[in-house]
Amino acid sequence: MKKTISLLCIFVLAVSLLCACGGKKEPETQPQTKEAVQPTEKQTEEQAKEPLDSSVLVEKVFDDLNLSLAYADDIMVHAMDADGNIEISFKLNSIDCSYVLNGTTGAIVSKNVPPEAVEVPANSPDPFEKAINTAMDSIEGYSGGAENIQASMSEGIIEVNFDWNGQHYTFHYDMNQEKLVD
């Protein structure tokens, strides 16, 4: 019996040793062809047909205007038309404005923005900057160094979030009243 158990143990050890050490087969690599590296023309066309995210298109409009999004009201991104264009309408200084962009490339097709719509008083700071500064100034002992600063706007209220001194802060700034609100 001892002999059988000894032989069985030697056999198990031998098999384990062979499995662990021997005969490791290298995975076969297939040579990369030009088609594998570069997308095919059909793949590129399909990707090009994907419409850009509406936030990307809105950002392109306000980059073109060289204005902060905070100056606009009633921003609407309309559905893509049969030509692949997307209209973005909004109000600046209570004046109706619009852009038409190619929905897949973001290229500006046309724009309707009267000059008086983009007039911003020379001494008027960016509303986001004003909201962030007001929020930070409201913290006793704040001397700079905030991290992860984020600001977003909805219906005239700018929400400001940031981390400072190991704590997270959230403030709401009313653009019309130009003050922090609860």
Find, among 90, 103, 26, the residue nearest to 62 by Cα.
90
Predicted local confidence at residue 166, as pLDDT: 92
Ranges under pLDDT 70 in the chain: 1-48, 120-125
Using CA atoms, how far residue 16 sits from 9, 24, 55, 57, in Å, is 10, 13, 58, 61
Predicted local confidence at residue 43, as pLDDT: 47
DSSP 80: P
The residues, ordered by sequence, that sit 6+ positions from 162 with a Cβ below 8 Å of its Cβ are 132, 135, 136, 146, 147, 148, 149, 150, 168, 169
Strands (E) across 14-166 are located at: 72-77, 85-92, 95-102, 108-112, 147-154, 157-164
Predicted local confidence at residue 5, as pLDDT: 54
Element at 47 (helix H, strand E): helix 41-48
Assign domain 127-181 to its CATH architecture: Roll (3.10)
The first and second tokens of residue 145, run together, are 């160094």
* Rg (alpha carbons) of the chain, rounded to whole number: 31
Contact yes or no for 139/82 (Cβ under 8 A): no
19-43: pLDDT as tens digits:
555 544 444 444 444 444 455 555 4
Contact yes or no for 110/100 (Cβ under 8 A): yes
Helix, strand, coil share of the chain (percent; to 5): 35, 30, 35
Distance CA 72, CA 66 (A): 12
